[in-house]
Amino acid sequence: MPAEGLDWLPDDSVLNDDEVVRLVRIGVEQLGIREVRFTGGEPLVRRGLVDIVRRTHDLGVETSLTTNALGLARMAEALAAAGLDRVNVSLDSVRAETFHQITRRDRLKDVVAGLEAAQAAGLGPVKINAVLMRGVNDDQAPELLRWSLERRYELRFIEQMPLDAQHGWSREGMVTADEILMALEAEFVLQPAQEPRGSAPAELFQVGDGPGTVGVIASVTRPFCGDCDRVRLTADGQIRNCLFAREESDLRAALRAGAADEDIAERWVVAMRGKRAGHGIDDPSFLQPDRPMSAIGG
Ligand code: SF4
């Protein structure tokens, strides 16, 4: 997020709770969606989140949440009671000063409390998503892993992608999966984990004799687009068939114009047919999407 923040969407452009649940139900009943993840911005600031989770869980799908964990200490139990299965928490450093530098907030303690509450509420395995940035926290990979293993959190490092609001990403500046693994292997013995990866983005490694693992999501240097089975629905009702899609398909307009479930499902299918084979970050014609990560969700 830029220091000055981003503009809020006008209220009436955001799907209301019933609209969110209806679109999720159409995806589940008509398109075979089996897992729903709530992302952001920050999903914990959504009023009505617990109820949306409950109604989604009642559709018989797995539910999870990606969050910065501020406020999770307060909400973890209610979310678990509503049927939430798991959480992923974004945390790039466990050093107070680096955390402050990255987030511009002095709230590391609240994130730690959120992680503990999630684990106590049974929202596990609790996963931590970390992004290493050169000159900021790229020396902290082993420290993050040690900290996570001690607390039985599953740490995953994610290569930084060109989705920042400032358009400041550069391939040279990015810390690669190879560099991350090299830094970890200076202190830990890593073995490729046995379990099949399927369409999961993380390459998993067992740490030492286990049972702890660490994941590396090499979205840029080892893309896994061929196995990607994800679709994103934005808070304002747009379908994005890829994180890097340059076009979106408007389901909100159809919904508010009174379209039947079948019609909305058909529009959704058409939106997915245009999904490209890969993100094309290495292609000279690559263009960063207009929406930054904080407006798409991870
Ligand atoms: S870049 Fe697009 S296609 Fe590739 S894994 Fe991400 S969302 Fe899926």
Six-digit token string for 188: 């830990």
CA–centroid distance, 81 to ligand 1, in Å, is: 32
Q: Which two tokens stand for residue 77?
A: 């139990």
Report the C-alpha gap between 188 and 185 in whole angstroms.
5
For ligand 1, what atom is nearest to the CA of residue 225?
Answer: 4
Task: Supply the range of the domain harboring residue 259.
Answer: 1-33+231-298
Between CA 79 and CA 93, with CA 91 as vertex, the angle to 5 degrees is 150
Q: For residue 4, name the pLDDT band (cuts at 50, 70, 90).
A: low
State which of 159, 225, 283, 293 you would mutate to test the pocket of ligand 1, scoring each by most atoms of that ligand within 8 A of its C-beta.
225
Q: What is the structure's pLDDT at 12?
A: 87
Helix, strand, coil percent content, the chain, rounded in steps of 5: 35, 15, 50
Distance 37 CA to ligand 1 centre (A): 15
| Residue 271 lies inside a defined structural domain of this protein | yes
Q: Give me ligand 1 centre to Cα 164, in Å.
A: 16
What gap in Å lies between CA 228 and CA 201, rounded to an integer?
8
Are 129 and 90 within 8 A, CB to CB?
yes
Report if residue 70 sits inside a domain: no
Q: What are 82-107's pLDDT values in tens digits?
A: 999 999 999 999 999 999 999 999 99
Amino acid letter, 86? R
Mean pLDDT of the chain: 91
Q: Is 138 inside any structural domain?
A: no
The response to whether residue 163 sits with its C-beta less than 6 Å from ligand 1 reads no
Residue 296 lies in a domain: yes
**Total domain count, the chain:** 1
Q: Is the CB of 228 under 6 A from ligand 1?
A: yes
- Taking the C-alpha atoms of residue 152 and residue 17, their distance in angstroms, rounded to an integer, is 34
Q: Using a 6 Å cutoff on CB, does residue 279 contact ligand 1? A: yes
Name residue 190's beta-bridge partners: 207
Per-residue pLDDT of 123-180, as tens digits, reads 989 999 999 999 999 999 999 999 999 999 999 999 998 777 777 788 888 899 999 9
| 87, 64 contact by CB (below 8 A) | yes
Would you say residue 95 lies in a domain?
no
CB of 240 closer than 6 angstroms to any ligand 1 atom = no
Is 276 domain-assigned?
yes
Query: pTM for the complete prediction?
Result: 0.91
- Considering the domain boundaries, does residue 175 fall inside one? no
Kind plus residue range of the DSSP H or E element containing 66: strand 62-67
pLDDT tens, position by position, 171-196: 888 899 999 999 999 999 999 988 76
